[in-house]
Chains A and B, each alone.
Chain A
Amino acid sequence: MRIRIAHETLYTYAVPANAVIQTLRLTPRNFSGQHVANWRLDVDQDCRLDAHEDAFGNITHTFSASGPIQSMTIRVDGLIETSDTAGVVRGAIERFPPGLYLRETDLTKADAEIRAYAEARRAKAGNGTLSILHALLDDLPAGMAYDKDPTHASTTATEAFALKSGVCQDFAHIFIAAARHLGIPARYVGGYFLHADGTIDQEAGHAWAEAYVEDLGWVGFDPANAICPAEQHIRIACGLDYLNAAPVRGSRHGGDGEFLTVKVRVDQAARQVQVQ
């Protein structure tokens, strides 16, 4: 499926900022399930975008701009060809052995409730890693409400699980916390999602999780939609939690009264027949 993405992040400052420095994880890489046909990243400031690769193999761009900056826009335009690999991620860059992704982080700590929940799912699903993961995937949305109001970017898995509501990021964190508690390496993936209902304009990107299954490798699980990532998912960056894969991170000097607007458009581009 050919998917067109336009992602605009607009910062406006009530008091102009003196300096801004940011790291962007907004550039996808190819793997067996996706091919980047075209990708463009733009910042509307006089600055140099330096491309690097972080420890997980994600492409990062860093820039610093000096002010006074009244407003700043980061734009991404891209065209991606995806194919359905039933969630299995092959051919991606793997910089670490899977065991590293058992490491607990502040955002993905499992408290007693998440641990009990994870163990209950395992008891129900039996012993296969894959069936445990599917039990977690199917069950999570039933007990959780998708609601973007109560949580924010730094909400932890524990908090969201106690609230019984959250966004895709919180779903992914809870899934990761539960999987790691059961000894299954799991990681956070940030990207985009093409809605099946034809909604093109979105308020943010998407996030899901990947878990490591022996003999199969990394397999994606999208707990917010209770599906495995297929053609509609575009994978941008991965890491231990949201902080490793966040699309934009940075800091500023001055610039009080920061206001952030994010516009994401994910749309199917040309339709092509797949020939076997």
Chain B
Amino acid sequence: MLSRTADNLFWLARYVERAEYLARIIEASTRLANLPSAYAGTSNEWESAVATAGCANLFFQAHEKATRETVIDFLAFSPDNPSSIRSCFETARTNARSVRTALTGEMWDAINSAWLELSKYRASGLNQDEHLTSFLSFVKETGLRFDGSAYRTMLRSDGYWFSRLGVMIERADNTARILDVKYHVLLPDAEHVGGSLDYFQWSAILRAVSALTAYHWVYKESLKPWLVADLLILNDQMPRSLAACYESIVRNLDSLSLAYGRQGPAQRSARAIRTRLENARIDDIFQSGLHEFVSDFIGENNRLGAAITQQYLT
């Protein structure tokens, strides 16, 4: 497979995953912003939405204040934001078109029709909650449809493995970013623990990665911050946890190395990160600093992305 094709497949999958993640951020922020301030606290949810999306600098160049309107416009539709949902779909479709023959019909159809349908939505039309909800579920369903088509129809060969790598690297980055922005609400704080503010903040984190029900299945307890962190970092049964993402990354990189008969820095560093996640305990992570752990992880995940790029995609 040409590096260029592999690169397109990798980024196509990353962009679709990112679009879905942005929809999840907007959804979680709307939910928190709708709560009375007595429950939700005084922090500006829209500011933290922009921070979680990783585009705070760019946002404040274009807008002065983070409000519902400006943030939704910026995260969903702005052509100036290279990571808006619109930009993600556009880049994904361009990538998909240039590797059209490496995709199955279903995958192409999913991404092409999403791009066509996107033009029906305008930021000004989303002022009402029900319109926003239908837009967000359209974006999430596109992710599901694309991912599902790949899973159900794609030949299990290097093309598939590269696209899975894209999904998982992006997903690990996204989960880590949620934790990075929200880590302070997970830290033990004698004054607030167990208050209603915490409940809504923690459940918002879980909802953002579809893990609220999973939490109750796994721990059978009320929400506790260290268990929320445990679920999202170390529990490999939870499909969006860092551990689960790395389990999949290691497996797909392993398949690539077997098929190509050689392996390199990408395999080695992915295994090292996987081992660390597997052998870590949440108490130790809290002891040495949740924030440090998560920022280190984001750095390492980016370096792994760069290593994959260097080894395979250029």
Using CB atoms and an 8 Å cutoff, list the residues of chain A in contact with chain B. Answer: 29-32, 35, 37, 57, 81, 83, 91-93, 270-276
Given contacts A30-B271, A37-B254, A275-B311, contact A91 B261 (CB under 8 A): no
Chain B contacts to A: CB under 8 angstroms: 250, 254, 257-258, 261-265, 268, 271-272, 274-276, 278-279, 311
* Chain B positions within 8 Å of A275 at CB level: 262-265, 311
Q: Which residues of A sit under 8 angstroms from B276, Cβ to Cβ?
A: 91
Residue numbers in B under 8 Å from A273 (CB-CB): 261-263
Residues of A contacting B274 with CB < 8 Å?
Answer: 30, 35
Taking a contact as CB atoms under 8 Å apart, the answer to whether B275 and A91 are in contact is yes
Task: Verify B263–A274 contact, CB threshold 8 A.
Answer: yes
**CB-based contact A272/B263 at 8 Å:** yes
In the bound complex, do residue A270 and residue B258 qualify as a contact, i.e. CB atoms below 8 Å apart? yes
Q: Are B258 and A272 within 8 A (Cβ)?
A: yes
Interface of A is mostly: loop
Given contacts A273-B262, A276-B264, whether A92 and B250 have CB atoms under 8 Å apart is: no
- Asked whether, in the complex, the Cβ of B278 is within 8 Å of the Cβ of A30, the reply is yes
- Chain A nearest CB from B313 CB (Å) reads 15
Q: Contacts A32-B272, A35-B250, A83-B268 known; A272 to B257 CB distance under 8 Å?
A: yes
Given A273-B263, A274-B263, A275-B263, 13 other A-B residues pairs in contact with their CB atoms under 8 A: A30-B271, A30-B278, A35-B250, A35-B274, A91-B276, A91-B279, A271-B261, A272-B257, A272-B258, A272-B263, A274-B262, A275-B311, A276-B265
Given contacts A35-B271, A81-B254, A272-B258, contact A29 B279 (CB under 8 A): yes
Q: Are A31 and B279 in contact (CB under 8 A)?
A: yes
CB neighbours (8 Å) of A274 from chain B are 262-264
A57 contacts across to B, CB distance below 8 A: 279
Q: Can you give 17 A-B contacts (C-beta < 8 A)? A: A29-B278, A29-B279, A32-B272, A32-B275, A35-B250, A35-B274, A37-B254, A81-B271, A272-B261, A272-B262, A272-B263, A273-B262, A273-B263, A274-B262, A274-B264, A275-B262, A275-B263
* Docked CA distance A35–B278 (Å): 11
Q: Are B275 and A31 in contact (CB under 8 A)?
A: yes
Interfacial chain A residues near B254, Cβ < 8 Å: 37, 81
Which partner residue on chain A sits nearest B258 by CB separation?
A270
Contact, CB under 8 Å: A35 / B257: no
- CB-based nearest A residue for B266: A275
CA distance A268 to B78 in the complex (A): 54
B contact residues around A31 at 8 Å (CB): 275, 279
